[in-house]
Amino acid sequence: MKALAWHGKGDIRCETVPDPKIQHGRDAIIKVTACAICGSDLHIFNGVIPGMEKGDVLGHETMGEVVEVGPDNKALKVGDRVVVPFTISCGQCFFCRRGFYSGCERSNPDKEKAEKLWGHSPAGLFGYSHLLGGYAGGQAEYLRGPFADVGPIKVPEGLSDEQVLFLSDIFPTGYMAADFCNLEGGETVAIWGCGPVGQFAIRSAFMLGAERVIAIDTVPERLAMAATAGAITLNFRNEDIYDRIQELTAGRGADACIDAVGTEPDTRSGFDAVIDRVKVATFMGTDRPHVLRQAIHCCRNFGTVSIVGVYGGFLDKIPMGSAINRGLTFRMAQTPVQHYLPKLLARIEQGEIDPSFVTTHRASLEQGPELYKTFRDKQDGCIKVVLKP
Ligand SMILES: NC(=O)c1ccc[n+]([C@@H]2O[C@H](COP(=O)([O-])OP(=O)(O)OC[C@H]3O[C@@H](n4cnc5c(N)ncnc54)[C@H](O)[C@@H]3O)[C@@H](O)[C@H]2O)c1
Ligand SMILES: [Zn+2]
Ligand SMILES: [Zn+2]
């Protein structure tokens, strides 16, 4: 089959790889009808995710048709149309039973490596390095879904691929970011990053009761898309974000601040962003937490900082003094996608949101390597790429 494989920093190729096969009784093989490129894939493309090996198949936002099921899988049958969560979860362990699917303790066969770095291992993920299971991803013609009686959700025929594809990751992730803010109605939520995740966080914050959303980025079409949803937009290249949030909140700070940027902020974001860049380039640091620092400073006393932008290792100069003295709450996670799936599918079915708004580019798998660049460089108005194998 054809698939997008990683061969090093900036080097992704569309190549022929062996077809996936059923390996365990609960597996299913999915013929991919649509898959997407995520901001998390850009961290791999940019070479900042450790544990990648040449030839690893990428992709964790995938949907398609079930073409084969293992003998122990009672949930799926050939012909079912499913969306596959990016998190691989057994459904039975301590964490899965509590809804913390991205903390599954059985789905990462490389758990010792993850434990060395992080103390404990999270769940395995599709197409996301040999730290997280080394599972082949879904930017391919076919995908093997492990524990496929727990992960994939069946979707009704009335909805198009693009309306449901983002249930695999960015819609639940943006929703979780807003959910973490414990909104009761009337709040001001500031969101850093108007990429695909930020876009869903903006809309979810409104759905969950925020009165105002302040959306921060610098890319004109992303800010415009945020404004369409009703957000007040700020451009960090033209205005001081802290000052503007102070102004908008009568000097109190935002009730909740969402980091939907993560470890690779624009180096033009500020002086500390440049220092971080140098430290990472010279192996003096692992991450570049400019946005997290700013989010902490802009959050009101006893407010919430919700982190969905991905970080990998050890973060320097995080203003914990500000956080503890002012009673901030931190929430963060790789999204336990399965936990959110049923209620978000219901919201789509009820017409509360049509996730296809975010797609700007549609292409074949062969065009994938080129579109990784277009998406990374934010060229051609690119906000979200959907590939159709
Ligand atoms: N927690 C999870 O489960 C999960 C799931 C999906 C994605 N993610 C992460 O979420 C993040 C965003 O993903 P995406 O797909 O939207 O990526 P993206 O790269 O398209 O978007 C990031 C946006 O941040 C903007 N940005 C850069 N510096 C900024 C700054 N200083 N202030 C404000 N905005 C700034 C960029 O211009 C860009 O529009 C990534 O780190 C990704 O890995 C996490
Ligand atoms: Zn993702
Ligand atoms: Zn589990």
| Segment among 180-189, 219-228, 275-284 with least mean pLDDT | 275-284
CB 310 near ligand 1, within 6 Å: yes
Average pLDDT, the chain: 97
Rounded-to-integer distance, Cα 361 and Cα 376, Å: 13
CB 193 near ligand 1, within 6 Å: yes
Atom number, ligand 1, closest to the C-alpha of residue 192 = 33
CB 260 near ligand 1, within 6 Å: yes
Q: Which ligand is nearest to the CA of 276?
A: 1
Q: What pLDDT sits at residue 98?
A: 98
pLDDT band at 72 (very low <50, low <70, confident <90, very high): very high
Residues with CB under 5 A from ligand 2 (ion): 38, 40, 169
Q: Which ligand is nearest to the CA of 218?
A: 1
Rounded-to-integer distance, Cα 371 and Cα 306, Å: 30
Q: What pLDDT sits at residue 198?
A: 98
Rounded-to-integer distance, Cα 326 and Cα 184, Å: 20
CB 76 near ligand 1, within 6 Å: no
CB 30 near ligand 1, within 6 Å: no
CB 311 near ligand 1, within 6 Å: no
Render pLDDT for 311-367 as a digit per residue (tens, 0 to 9).
999 999 999 999 999 999 999 999 999 999 999 999 999 999 999 999 999 999 999
Atom number, ligand 1, closest to the C-alpha of residue 87 = 3
pLDDT band at 29 (very low <50, low <70, confident <90, very high): very high
The tokens describing 95, both together, are 């964490």
Burial of 351 (0-12, 13-18, 19+ CB in 10 A): exposed
CB 43 near ligand 1, within 6 Å: yes
CB 40 near ligand 1, within 6 Å: yes
Q: Whose CA is nearest to atom 10 of ligand 1?
A: 309
Q: Ligand 1 centroid vs 179 CA: distance in angstroms?
A: 18
Q: pTM of the full predicted structure?
A: 0.98
Mean pLDDT, rounded, for 85-111: 98
Atom number, ligand 1, closest to the C-alpha of residue 222 = 39
